[in-house]
Amino acid sequence: MNKNRALKNGIAKTGAVRALGAMSGTSLDGVDAAVLRTDGHEIFEFGETRYRAYSEAERAVIAAGFGRWSGPEVDAAARVVEAAHREVLGGFEGVELIGFHGQTLAHAPRVQGTLQVGDGAALARDLNCPVVWDFRSADVELGGEGAPLAPFFHHACARFINATAPLAFLNLGGVGNLTWVDPTVAAPEAPGALLAFDTGPANAPLNDLMQARLGRAYDNEGAVAAKGTVEQGALELFLAEPYFARMPPKSLDRNDFAEMIGLVRELSDADAAATLTAMCAAGVAEAMQHCPSLPTQVLVTGGGRLNPVLMQMLAVSLDCPVVPIETVGLDGDMLEAQAFAFLAVRVARGLATSCPGSTGVQAAVGGGIVSLP
């Protein structure tokens, strides 16, 4: 092997790496896994993907751990998360490195920190492959929000699609987050390259409503919301939350807006769904006011892009085109899994994974633990 390709933390220090990333989001649909060939700076190729849905019983076990920092519920959630990841990640071949995000159960960076369950060291042993994990802790310890972490990958995506003007990536999972990117700035950690923060709750409150009232995991294609009317009083109370007045970067826990369900408790199923959907869109509209300049377009990723009611609300609320990310040839289902493949390579090579513009951390920092088999 060329000495310039000498191994560092189990992977070569230079050149392209075939990395596998995994993501289990707070919407609790399942585990996304995706291969990416990258050197941690550029995207060279998108590889194969897989999805492993959580069963209803598994979702219930993980959900019981939300908002907890320790205890039997957390331990049980960790076992489910690890088993599901072991199952899906073991189906890939020719992988040099794995990025394992785990499952966020609690996130309070200014109070207690952040908790993602799942043992990356155990996965490294079981899968016989180096695993990068615990991506958020170092950022939080240095004063950052610990979230969102996909922005460095969004910057690489903007350059991959040859964007020449500022654009925004909007991820609508359990929580919404926005990344404003200027692709003319070469490095993601450079001043002016990006601004990222959580916009507010996205699918999580609506999913919880659907599960509690109708026994459904989510509002499929916005069918329930489409029949309802938005309760403007509840929407105004939602927008009065202090979070929206805070300057970014800023982040949220899945349950930070749990009282939203209370605001719609007396409404019909359809009106409640329509109102929660409108709250998601309104949070995004508020967030756009913080962008350094109006993006040329907003590329929507995550499950929210599949809800035509939500997409229509965004189109009406925002002053620029709002389109599913597939419009530019990227995969809206797998973008976050691909992001953790990208970040895994950056961690293994000692590169930054967050910066003041993405999490509010005092200086660019590289998080993550590398566990070898």
Tens digits of residue pLDDT in 222-241 = 999 999 999 999 999 999 99
Mean pLDDT, rounded, for 256-284: 94
Mean pLDDT, rounded, for 259-288: 96
Q: How confident is the model at residue 10 (pLDDT cuts 50, 70, 90)?
A: low
Q: How confident is the model at residue 14 (pLDDT cuts 50, 70, 90)?
A: confident
pLDDT of residue 9: 65
pLDDT of residue 5: 44
Q: How confident is the model at residue 261 (pLDDT cuts 50, 70, 90)?
A: confident
pLDDT of residue 1: 29
> Is 179 a residue whose pLDDT tops 50?
yes
Tens digits of residue pLDDT in 88-106 = 999 999 999 999 999 999 9
Mean pLDDT, rounded, for 31-59: 97
Average pLDDT of the chain, as a whole number:
94
Tens digits of residue pLDDT in 113-131 = 999 999 999 999 999 999 9
pLDDT of residue 118: 97
Mean pLDDT, rounded, for 44-71: 96
Q: 218 versus 258: which is more confidently predicted? A: 218
Q: How far are the Cα atoms of 198, 319, 323 from residue 310, in angstroms, in the given order?
A: 17, 16, 12
pLDDT of residue 128: 96
Position 58, amino acid: E
42: its two tokens: 């550029």
pLDDT of residue 7: 57
pLDDT of residue 112: 85
Contact (CB, 8 A) for 89 and 132: no
pLDDT of residue 85: 98
> Is 305 a residue whose pLDDT tops 60?
yes
Q: At what angle do helices 269-288 and 308-317 cross, to 10 degrees?
A: 40
> Is 278 a residue whose pLDDT tops 80?
yes
Q: What is the pTM of this model?
A: 0.94
Q: How confident is the model at residue 257 (pLDDT cuts 50, 70, 90)?
A: confident
> Is 8 a residue whose pLDDT tops 80?
no
Percentage of residues of the chain with pLDDT beyond 70: 97
Count of all residues that appear for the chain in the document = 373
Contact (CB, 8 A) for 209 and 273: yes
pLDDT of residue 168: 98
pLDDT of residue 280: 97
Mean pLDDT, rounded, for 254-277: 92
pLDDT of residue 71: 98
Mean pLDDT, rounded, for 242-254: 90
> Is 205 a residue whose pLDDT tops 90?
yes
Q: How confident is the model at residue 3 (pLDDT cuts 50, 70, 90)?
A: very low
Q: Tell how strand 113-117 and strand 131-133 pair up.
A: unpaired
Mean pLDDT, rounded, for 177-183: 98
Ordered structural domains, the chain, with CATH: 3-145+367-371 (3.30.420.40), 162-328 (3.30.420.40)
Contacts 24+ apart (CB under 8 A), 163-169: 163/296, 165/296, 166/291, 166/292, 166/293, 166/294, 166/295, 166/296, 167/295, 167/296, 167/297, 167/298, 167/299, 168/288, 168/291, 168/295, 168/297, 168/298, 168/299, 169/298, 169/299, 169/301, 169/325, 169/335
